[in-house]
């Protein structure tokens, strides 16, 4: 099965300006009381979740493991007129690629689950090394504590229609292999004039991690003022009713 990140144009089909507007409002609300000028997103992908920060006036840097995703992100930055320096690197090795620090280092798009739990701890330590004293570490992720409790097998997305009339239907089929990973099969069907004319299946293999792992690692690094909110954040909800959350913490 194909790896979705080798097909950034297909990955991008899930983003619409309306969805991006929601993320802009989310960041506006979440960072309102933070003194931030420059931000590194170490899982930038093709940038949709990060470009909204440029709109809000932050100076933005990006890094990601996938050259294909960054290439697409660079094209989109150029089209939008944003200056976003991009670096290809693993978020577990940030200090090999960056010598400067940032007011905020983030990982967006539930990307940390791509590495095993020890890798998540390493990535958090690497992100911390690039956060200025008093700065912010931010991440968003699926709520793996909730997913492991509910063990869902199917997830449907609302079908959406593109400007050219094509309608895209997306279904995810989740598998739970014995090694503790979760394999998500992303099945897309493309409809035009009432007929499905193309089907694609992509696979993501993910490593669930608990919020306690994140909290414990950040506490060990001396972080405080932990804020955990739903993503996107409009109103507070019980953690176990929150399918996707973000976490913000301040470095001592």
Tell me the C-alpha to C-alpha distance, in Å, between residue 189 and each of 154, 165, 170.
15, 14, 7
209 counts as binding ligand SAM under rule CB under 6 A? no
Listed ranges 39-47, 95-103, 186-194, 218-226: which one lies at the site for ligand SAM (CB under 6 A): 39-47
Which two three-digit tokens encode residue 178?
Answer: 């014995």
Output the smallest distance, CB 195 to ligand SAM, in A. Answer: 30
Query: If we measure between CA atoms, which residue out of 213, 249, 210 comes closest to residue 229?
Result: 249
Give Cβ neighbours of residue 142 (< 8 Å, ≥ 6 apart): 110, 113, 243, 244
Tell me if residue 181 falls in helix, strand or coil. coil
Which two three-digit tokens encode residue 102?
Answer: 């940032």
113 counts as binding ligand SAM under rule CB under 6 A? no
- Of 27, 36, 40, 48, the one binding ligand SAM (CB under 6 A) is 48
Enclosing H/E stretch for 215 = helix 211-220
Listed ranges 107-115, 131-139, 141-149, 179-187: which one lies at the site for ligand SAM (CB under 6 A): 107-115
Rounded Cα distance between 82 and 175, Å, is 39
- Of 60, 115, 130, 231, the one binding ligand SAM (CB under 6 A) is 115
208 counts as binding ligand SAM under rule CB under 6 A? no
Binding mask 49-78 for ligand SAM (x = CB under 6 A): x--------------xxx--x---------
Q: Which residues are at the interface with ligand SAM (CB under 6 A)?
A: 5, 43-45, 48-49, 64-66, 69, 90-92, 108-111, 114-115
């Amino acid at each position: 099965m194909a790896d979705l990140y080798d097909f950034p144009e297909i990955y991008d089909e899930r983003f619409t300006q309306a969805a991006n507007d929601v993320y802009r409002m989310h960041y506006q609300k979440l960072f309102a009381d933070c003194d931030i000028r420059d931000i590194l997103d170490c899982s930038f992908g093709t940038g949709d979740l990060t470009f909204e920060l440029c709109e809000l006036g932050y100076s933005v840097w990006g890094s990601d493991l996938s050259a294909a995703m960054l290439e697409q992100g660079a094209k989109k930055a150029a089209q939008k007129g944003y200056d976003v320096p991009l670096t290809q690197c693993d978020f577990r090795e940030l200090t090999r690629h960056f010598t400067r620090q940032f007011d905020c280092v983030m990982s967006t798009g539930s990307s940390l689950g791509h590495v095993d739990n020890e890798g998540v701890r390493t990535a958090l330590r690497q992100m911390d090394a690039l956060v200025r004293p008093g700065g912010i570490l931010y991440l968003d992720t699926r709520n793996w504590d909730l997913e492991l409790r509910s063990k869902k097998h199917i997830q449907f997305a609302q079908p959406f229609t593109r400007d050219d009339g094509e309608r895209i239907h997306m279904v995810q089929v989740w598998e739970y292999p014995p090694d503790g990973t979760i394999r998500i099969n992303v099945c897309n069907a493309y409809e035009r004039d009432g007929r499905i004319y193309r089907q694609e299946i992509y696979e993501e293999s993910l490593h669930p991690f608990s919020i306690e792992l994140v909290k414990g690692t950040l506490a060990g690094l001396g972080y405080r003022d932990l804020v955990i909110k739903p993503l996107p954040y409009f109103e507070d909800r019980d953690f176990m009713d929150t399918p996707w959350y973000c976490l913000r913490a301040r470095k001592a």
